[in-house]
Amino acid sequence: MAPRAVLIGPPGSGKSTVAKALARLWQVERRDTDTDIEQRAGKSIPDVFLEDGEATFRSIEREAVDDALRTHDGVLALGGGAVLAAETQALLEAYAAEGGAVVFLDVSLAAAAPRVGLNASRPLLVGNPRAQWVALMDARRPIYERLATVTILTDKTSPTDVAVRIDAELKERA
């Protein structure tokens, strides 16, 4: 069992909303590892960061991603930083090597800012949110690009249109 597609990308790229639209298009279930993390921890992601620290959050996240890649066969959305773990990168590389679709939802800061709100509910964007987001993307972009089997720019595009583009890209590659 493996997901039909795994969505990766930064905060504000639309992973959760595109996952819903793509799952609806394909008539499959969707799963979001951020939700899995909150269920495992019994609290919100900001609370995990605040009370337990980023290391604990990342540990729970690695477990959630591993579990979802093994047990979910619909559309899977990963948290923006999930790809930072070497273990997760290896899992995604193995998934892609077996024909899995790792879709990088790319987005500019201009498009991400209104979607994310760049507020305190995003633990890694506290302080100067715009500068933090740019730094985060500078660090993560090479990982997203290396892992992706498909890249879709989500700027000025509805989640439904992004889902349709993903579907078309994957059909073209099949």
Considering the entire predicted model, what is its pTM? 0.92
Say if residue 27's pLDDT is above 70: yes
Give the whole-number percent of the chain exceeding pLDDT 90. 78
DSSP string computed for 51-107: HH-HHHHHHHHHHHHHHHHHH--SEEE--TTGGGSHHHHHHHHHHHHTT--EEEEE-
With residue 7 as reference, give the H or E element that holds it: strand 5-8
Report, as an integer, the average pLDDT of 126-130: 64
Residues 56, 19: Cα–Cα separation, whole Å: 26
- Res. 4: pLDDT tops 80: yes
- φ, ψ of residue 4 to 5 degrees: the values are -70, -35
User: pLDDT digit string (tens) for 43-98?
Assistant: 999 899 889 998 999 999 999 999 999 999 999 999 999 999 999 999 999 999 99
Give residues with Cβ within 8 angstroms of 112, minimum separation 6: 10, 11, 12, 13, 133
Amino acid at 58: R
Report the pLDDT averaged over residues 2-19. 95
Average pLDDT for the chain: 91
On the question of pLDDT at 120 being above 60, the answer is no
CATH classification (class only), 5-173: alpha beta
Pair 134, 109: CB distance under 8 Å = yes
What is the domain partition of the chain in residue ranges? 5-173
119 pLDDT higher than 60: no
